[in-house]
Amino acid sequence: MVKSPCINVCRMHAELGVCRGCYRTLEEIGDWSTLPDTEKRRVAQEAEARRAKIGPLEIV
Amino acid sequence: MSGAPAPVRLPAGMRLLERGWLSSNNIVLHEGDQATVVDSGYVKHAAQTVALVGRAAEGRCVTRLVNTHCHSDHVGGNAALQRAFACTILIPDGEADNVARWDETALDLAGLGQRNERFMHDGTLRAGDTLRMGGLDWLALAAPGHDMDSLVYYAPEARLLISADALWEDGFGVLFPEFGGEPGLQTARETLDMIAKLDLETVIPGHGPAFGEPQRALQRAYDRLEAFALDRGKLVRNALRVMVSFHLMDVGSAELPGIADLLERSPFATAASELYRLPMPAIAERLVGDLAGAGVLRIAGGRLYSV
Ligand SMILES: [Zn+2]
């Protein structure tokens, strides 16, 4: 089982279109439960890459 | 099977929005041009909940919101969802007076340092009521234990159970009634017995992914209840751990005196004093040290952080 990247921040950044906590898009969060493990791993990696690129987001 | 590479499949008209632990899962069920949502998450996440539910309705009108029980992590988005979609809100009948009066003590809010947004319900559900959601007939079943008034929803033809916090893949929600002089342990065991008798293939819990092989989860839950019955300290420590980690998830970080204050005001204060036999600040220090050791929280620069 691939662990959910959710860290319980769960607020979207409107302009960037990613969650301020886990850096997933709304689509990636909404579809998470349906994804096979390979896709979950890909989404988690892409979210981490976004975190590295965007840097810290203010948690409002 | 928890090690399986693909998630368990749900019927075509259902969308599971798997959230974290501060927010419960939300389930969106399609029915013609309408949709029902089960549970609404924590208030702090309400904007994301509205966006996720709107997307999962796939163009349908969200006409109805159904709650399994009225804890803050399951009803925190009720007001926002109603504002966004003008949906009808149905809650368990046993919670109706508390919600109507917005009794923060009875709603397990006041003593846990949790927040919520007040909402008005439009109707109630009782055990034995049936609901049509997602192309399936669902039966409401009483599931006391974690919450004395909780309902779970069972779809016999799909052999599917929406189990709320009565049964998770690994455990169940804190047995709050035990701290208010009610038989939480005993009723939780009876609820597991009730679930064990259902013809069941898949469980959608209040937190965590949907799972198959419900017998395995039931066995783990029975084992944990047994451990709690044999050693009440385990039951108390579980409640304290959940309260502190929920609080840290909510506020992000806190200092030790804040945690001592939280403990002092909580419904677990007496049980914690009896267990640790120390003054409250010392209990908080001990508890926080234990939780840091267990990786449940992290301490940096004198502050405590959610992990
Ligand atoms: Zn609950």
Sequence ranges of the domains in chain A? 12-54
Question: B161 near B139, Cβ under 8 Å?
Answer: no
- Does the residue B4 lie in any domain? no
Question: Which pLDDT band holds residue B106 (cuts at 50, 70, 90)?
Answer: confident
Give the C-alpha separation, A55 to A49, whole Å. Answer: 10
Strands B297-300 and B303-306: antiparallel
Q: Do both B205 and B246 map to the same domain?
A: no
Quick one: average pLDDT of B263-268? 94
Give the C-alpha separation, A56 to A36, whole Å. Answer: 29
pLDDT in tens, B266-304: 999 999 999 999 999 999 999 999 999 999 999 999 899
Q: Do both B122 and B250 map to the same domain?
A: no
Give the bridge partners for B142, in sequence order.
B151
Residue B206 φ then ψ, to 5°: -70, -25
Residue in B20, B41, B56 nearest the CB of A4: B20
Per-residue pLDDT for B2 more than 80?
Answer: no
Identify the closest residue of chain A to B305 by CA–CA distance.
A7
Per-residue pLDDT for B234 more than 80?
Answer: yes
CB contact under 8 A, A12 and B56: no
Per-residue pLDDT for B75 more than 80?
Answer: yes
Q: Distances in Å between the alpha carbon of B48 and those of A9, B12, B40, B137?
A: 10, 23, 10, 29
pLDDT in tens, B168-218: 999 999 999 999 999 999 999 999 999 999 999 999 999 999 999 999 999
Pick from B210, B230, B250: which residue ends a domain? B230
Residue B237 Cα, ligand 1 centroid: separation in angstroms? Answer: 17
Structure confidence at residue A60 (pLDDT): 73
Identify the closest residue of chain A to B18 by CA–CA distance.
A33
Quick one: average pLDDT of B210-239? 97
Give the bridge partners for B35, in sequence order.
B30, B62
SS3 A35: coil
Q: How much is the mean pLDDT over chain B? A: 95
Give the C-alpha separation, B154 to B147, whole Å. Answer: 18
- Does the residue B8 lie in any domain? no
Pick from B185, B214, B230: which residue ends a domain? B230
Structure confidence at residue B4 (pLDDT): 55
**Distance of alpha carbon B291 from its chain centroid, rounded?**
21
- Does the residue B46 lie in any domain? yes
CB contact under 8 A, B48 and A34: no
- Does the residue B85 lie in any domain? yes
- Does the residue B208 lie in any domain? yes
Structure confidence at residue B113 (pLDDT): 87
- Does the residue B217 lie in any domain? yes
Question: Which pLDDT band holds residue B108 (cuts at 50, 70, 90)?
Answer: confident
ipTM given for this complex:
0.98
- Does the residue B171 lie in any domain? yes
Q: Which residues surround ligand 1, an ion (CB under 5 A)?
A: B 71, 165, 173
B48–A contact, CB cutoff 8 A: yes
Give the C-alpha separation, B36 to B53, whole Å. Answer: 10
Structure confidence at residue B139 (pLDDT): 98
Per-residue pLDDT for B138 more than 80?
Answer: yes
Give the C-alpha separation, B141 to B151, whole Å. Answer: 5
Question: B274 near B246, Cβ under 8 Å?
Answer: no
Question: A48 near B19, Cβ under 8 Å?
Answer: no
Q: Do both B123 and B247 map to the same domain?
A: no
Q: Do both B140 and B43 map to the same domain?
A: yes
Q: Do both B296 and B179 map to the same domain?
A: no
Per-residue pLDDT for B1 more than 50?
Answer: no
Angle at CA of residue B255, ends B43 and B264, nearest 5°: 75
Pick from B184, B206, B230: which residue ends a domain? B230
Question: B68 near B151, Cβ under 8 Å?
Answer: yes
Chain A nearest C-alpha distance from B103 (Å): 26
* Number of independent structural domains in chain B: 2
- Does the residue B103 lie in any domain? yes
Q: Do both B211 and B242 map to the same domain?
A: no
Mean pLDDT lowest among B56-70, B84-98, B101-115: B101-115
Question: Which pLDDT band holds residue B5 (cuts at 50, 70, 90)?
Answer: confident
Give the C-alpha separation, A16 to A20, whole Å. Answer: 9
SS3 B137: strand
Q: Can you give the pTM of this predicted structure?
A: 0.96
Domain encompassing residue B292: 232-306
CATH number, domain with residue B249 = 1.10.10
Structure confidence at residue B307 (pLDDT): 86
The token pair at A7 is 């860290």
Sort out which chain B residues have CB atoms less than 8 A from A37's CB and list them. Answer: 5-6
Residue B100: enclosing H or E segment and its boundaries? Answer: helix B96-101
Q: Do both B90 and B127 map to the same domain?
A: yes
